[in-house]
Each structure stands twice: as C-alpha cells, then as structure tokens.
Amino acid sequence: MNKEEIKNIIPHRDSMLLLDEVRINEEGKAIGLKNIIGDEWFLDGHFPGNPVVPGVILCEILAQSTCILLPREELNKCIPYFTGLDKVRFKSPVRPGDVFITECEIIKQKHPFVFAKGKGYVNNKLCISAEFSFAIIDN
C-alpha cells in the first residue's frame, strides 16, 4: 500500500508519517519502506556535513510498520502509543540516498498492549533490531 492507503490505517500525518510503502508478506510480517531523500526535518542538524537518521526515528518507522498489522476497526477509534523499547541495537547508520526496509511482527497482544519486534535494513545489511510495545488507547 502507498502513503495515501497507509493514512487510512494509522493516525500519523504530514512530517510524522514516516512510511512510503508497506505490505504484509506471506508470513504475516509487515514489510515497510522509507526512502531517505536527504531533506527530511530530522536530518537538519543531525549531523552537519554527515547526515544520519536518528535512532529514535528508526524506532518510530519500525512501530509505524507494525501498526499496519493491527485490526483497522481498532485503529479507527484508537491511537497506538509507544510504551517501551527493549533490546534496541543500532548496527549501521542510515543516510540520505538509502532505502530503509523494515520487517516487523507482533509477538503478543494483551489488550490494550501490543508487543512486537522488528528489524531494519539497507541493502540487506542490518541497521537496527528492537523489541517494543505500545498501548492502543481510545481516541
């Protein structure tokens, strides 16, 4: 699905919608894509002359990818809020010109909490891995 279709599922808009495309693969994992162009707001000043996507942004892209796996009727009336990040490992920087690909899955759900894990890659090279959770809260 493209950016407009993603907007029908998750509540993020404008500069905080960090996915360009996402799909669910045959294994039920969310596969997201973000083209890092170089003019993104989060690269401004991080770092001058050597732009690198901040780790917290990579974590947010993982979470947004995962939200695609949630039931749409739930997300239509609720908002997912980060509640935790665990075992986050940054392996390689993500820079302008890179195509950042996510692979995320839900591990467990216990309403209102969702527990997930994800990985992010550039050119099949692991850049980030993380376990995380969020709560689905009424809008």
Q: Write out the catalytic residue numbers.
A: 46
Q: Give just the sign of the alpha carbon dihedral 51, 98, 68, 26.
A: negative
Q: How many CA atoms lie less than 13 Å away from 36 in the CB half-sphere?
A: 22
φ/ψ of residue 101, rounded to 5:
-115, 130
The phi and psi torsions of 63 (rounded to 5 degrees) equal: -65, -45
The residues, ordered by sequence, that sit 6+ positions from 31 with a Cβ below 8 Å of its Cβ are 22, 23, 24, 25, 65, 101, 102, 103
Helix (H, G, I), strand (E, B) or coil at 30: strand
